[in-house]
Amino acid sequence: MKLSFKRIWGIILRHLYLLKHSFSRWIDLLYWPTVDLLLWGFITIYLQKDFYPEGKWVFQFIGALIFWNILIRAQQGLAVGFLEDIWARNLLHLFVSPLTITEYLLGLFIFSLFKAFIASLLMAIIATFAFNFKIWLQGIDIFLMVFNLIFFAWSIGLLTMAFILFFGQEAEILAWALALFFLPFSAVFYPVDVLPKFFQYIAQFVPTSYIFETMRKVLLEGEVSYVLILKAYFLTIIYFFISVVIFILSFNFAKKTGKFTKIGE
């Protein structure tokens, strides 16, 4: 049987049309490569500048991985927990019951804490035995920083849920992508000074940048900058308030327009 270029072109054209009208597919095509390039590009610049005493960079990277994992697990615990109800076509059933939106969110918040705790505990145990990195020995200041990361993760999770309610399941990709939007500006694996000036300006409005800068001070110098922690909490409270407002508006919009009956189909 001869190959038909028309049939091959038909398959290509089908996927081109899907790409043309799909926001999530464009994110997959353009967003992830951009984030990867920025992240590893800035890490490379940082390592070339040789900021650390010999061997110190290892602990900084391990600590950064644990902290970032806590944020991701908390954010996805909230957003993916919400998506689980959508995929199971259970969202409408939940909200025709006596369940209130506050009760629903508190349940998701607690579940996301559980996921973040399990994942971070596992990483901390492995880091202790494999790399002799005992993050909990840094004292209560670590918990102040961790709670801020979780608080900020909830803000991102609420925004994700709001976008899904407003735009439909096309916005599902944000459950995995939205937190990573803040990654290049959060100074997770490198200090803010490594970033270009414009990125440094953006980092001033990203609370996680202050947390990771503080983490580096704690791990490398044994000093805690409470000024940076206060700045992080101040920004996080603003983010959380804005995300709650946007979520409530999207929730009410979904109820008024009947999206609850369609979402998940």
- The string of pLDDT tens digits covering residues 200-253 is 999 999 999 999 999 888 877 777 888 999 999 999 999 999 999 999 999 888
Q: Which pLDDT score is estimated for 208?
A: 94
Domain of residue 71, residue span: 55-261
Alpha-helix runs per DSSP H in 188-259? 197-203, 207-221, 226-257
State the residue for tokens 């959508």. Answer: 86
Give the count of domains, the chain.
1
Instruction: Specify if 20 maps to a domain.
Output: no
Give the angle subtended at the CA of 249 by the CAs of 254 and 238, to the nearest 5°: 145
Buried b (16+ CB within 10 A) or exposed e, 225-234: beebbebbbe
Mean pLDDT across 21-35: 64
Instruction: Specify if 24 maps to a domain.
Output: no
Instruction: Specify if 2 maps to a domain.
Output: no
| Range of lowest pLDDT (15-24, 122-131, 218-227) | 15-24
Judge residue 106's burial from the number of C-beta atoms within 10 Å of its C-beta, 0-12 exposed, 13-18 middle, 19 or more buried.
exposed
Instruction: Specify if 1 maps to a domain.
Output: no
Instruction: Specify if 47 maps to a domain.
Output: no
Instruction: Specify if 197 maps to a domain.
Output: yes
Instruction: Specify if 163 maps to a domain.
Output: yes
Instruction: Specify if 123 maps to a domain.
Output: yes
Q: Which pLDDT score is estimated for 98?
A: 81
